[in-house]
Structure 1
Amino acid sequence: MAEQTTPQSTPRRSGGLVSTLTVELHSHYAIRLWEGRNRSEEKRTPDHRPKILGMPEAISRAGYAGRDAAAGNPYGDELLVKLEEAIQLATGKVQEQVRIIEKIIAGIPASITMSEVTSSEPLNLDVFSRSPLGYRCVWLLVHYDQLALKAFQAFHYGLVSRSQRDQFLDKGSKAIRVVYGLLQNYRTVPVTYDDIRHKTARGLAAIKRLGEPDPAVMSGKKRSSFSPLTAVISEED
């Protein structure tokens, strides 16, 4: 007998998609960039060095910018554009330093074998971001972690000097701090594209505080590949 099924009165749908992400950091340098420097540490510092953003806060701020962009905020869209460009540039710089070190390490005699360097007790971190660019920031830091490991390995075996090692580390960390700087300076201001175009009270207040948004962002010609799908109407329309 053929199996019979009862028609469903409503369409059946699958549940929400879920995924978890865990990151391992092996170098103290990468861990310091993850943690940043908070205000309590700043107070204990004799020279009162400024606060340094950490990765958790960077991820949060990237999420704020994505939320603002989804609400039609041109400053949120502009930050996403600048952030994507900065991450791409910083990743390229870090990867270039990794390639240089790998080339140095590859120059050892063929009869010598070196294992990959890792930490005996890496820091395991669960990561969640509301913005794809937040995860891109994490990938950048992981690249830097690999750079730090290779730099210390090369120094340990006498393949580079201490000053060369420190130059590799410094170039990589500066690239990351440029990205952090963009996010640290971002502030949410409740304003829309129309507020800016029509010079409403909110628009004028936002311009006074943050300056005019990039005209290319305002027209929709320049958008991040991770910008939300919101309507951007140009002045010509």
Structure 2
Amino acid sequence: MADHFQLNLGSLRSTITLTLHTHHAARLWQGRLAREGSHPIMSMAAYINITNILKQAAAQDDPFADWFMLMLEDKVLRAKAQMGQLMEQVSHLEKLLPSQIDVGDNLNIHPVTLPLFIASQLGFLAVYLLTDYDTLVRRVLLAHHTALIGRPDMEGWIDQGAHQVRSLFGIAHRCRVSGVTRSDVAADNARFQEAVDKYGRPPQDVLDGERRSQFAPPIIAVAGSTESEPASASDDVPADDETDATDKPS
């Protein structure tokens, strides 16, 4: 007869860090407080906190959390594709260097290394987008240094890349925990109607649970709803007014 014994296994853990080489990417990581003449910009930490909370709410059968996750997933994937197109343009420029010249990577002699504590896949995707931007800036600065482009083109490409990150933050700033479950949707009660008034009505397939983000967690609870709270940390601030109001999944 086999011995029965309990395996007391702990949780899996890993150490994850992020290294940034440019001031441009570091500023997007930190965000910006509101001041005269400039808009505030959300920090990456605030964005990650929002995605963490949305993931928890989606696990509790909140259809609005599922909707917001779909919005963020759609935006971050489109932003990554746009960043890739900018990278391709830089690659074309780099081919203009004479074959006799060998140019190495443009790396910071004292980069900043940051620990990452992220509980959501959408948070990781945003960090990956930021690393793409960091790489883009390094390559564009080097292209300007080696006379492949002038200052106007350099500044234009850097701004286009930054816009992709800031517009993602702008969408995240509008995301909130509704306190609604699909039981409220089925009952068409006041709680659900109040959420619709605040955030708009999600598509029917999202309300039905037929369409969810590929990163949505399993639904583990269909408990009673709670009061609506902002899905953001105290440093959540409105992002640039560059956000496209049409950035919603259909």
What is the CA-CA distance between 1:132 and the residue it aligns to?
0.9
* Aligned counterpart for 1:201 among listed residues 157, 165, 190: 190
Inter-partner Cα distance in structure 1 for 2:220 and 2:2: 39
State the Cα RMSD in Å: 1.9
Inter-partner Cα distance in structure 1 for 2:3 and 2:89: 62
* Aligned counterpart for 2:13 among listed residues 18, 27, 51: 18
Inter-partner Cα distance in structure 2 for 1:204 and 1:46: 38
What is the CA-CA distance between 1:177 and the residue it aligns to?
1.5
Inter-partner Cα distance in structure 2 for 1:157 and 1:221: 52
Tell me the residue number matched to 1:79: 68
Tell me the residue number matched to 2:36: 46
Listed one character per residue, the Cα deviations across residues 72-126 of structure 1 (whole Å, up to 9, x for unaligned) are 1011101111111111100011111112112211221111000101111111110
Q: Which amino acid counterpart does residue 212 of structure 1 have in structure 2?
A: R
TM-score by length of 2: 0.84
Q: Secondary structure at the match of 1:146?
A: helix
Q: Secondary structure at the match of 2:176?
A: coil
Larger-Rg structure: 1
Tell me the residue number matched to 1:148: 137
If each structure's helix is expressed as a fraction of its own residues, which one has the higher value?
Answer: 1
Unaligned 5+ residue runs, structure 1? Answer: 1-5, 233-237
Which consecutive segments of 4 or more residues in structure 1 shift more than 6 A? none
What does residue range 1-237 of structure 1 map to in structure 2 within 5 Å?
Answer: 8-38=3-33, 42=34, 45-47=35-37, 49-230=38-219
Q: Which amino acid counterpart does residue 187 of structure 1 have in structure 2?
A: R
Inter-partner Cα distance in structure 2 for 1:46 and 1:15: 50
Q: Which amino acid counterpart does residue 111 of structure 1 have in structure 2?
A: Q
Q: Secondary structure at the match of 1:23?
A: strand
Inter-partner Cα distance in structure 2 for 1:231 and 1:134: 21
Q: Which amino acid counterpart does residue 183 of structure 1 have in structure 2?
A: A
% of aligned pairs identical?
28
TM-score by length of 1: 0.88
Unaligned 5+ residue runs, structure 2? Answer: 222-250
What is the CA-CA distance between 1:13 and the residue it aligns to?
5.0
Inter-partner Cα distance in structure 2 for 1:74 and 1:157: 51
Inter-partner Cα distance in structure 2 for 1:111 and 1:102: 17
What is the CA-CA distance between 1:222 and the residue it aligns to?
2.1
Q: Secondary structure at the match of 1:213?
A: coil
What is the CA-CA distance between 1:8 and the residue it aligns to?
4.2
Tell me the residue number matched to 1:235: none
Higher relative contact order (CA 8 A, sep 6+): 2
- Counting matched residue pairs gives 222
Listed one character per residue, the Cα deviations across residues 133-183 of structure 1 (whole Å, up to 9, x for unaligned) are 101110000000000000000001100111111111111111111211111
Inter-partner Cα distance in structure 1 for 2:140 and 2:148: 9
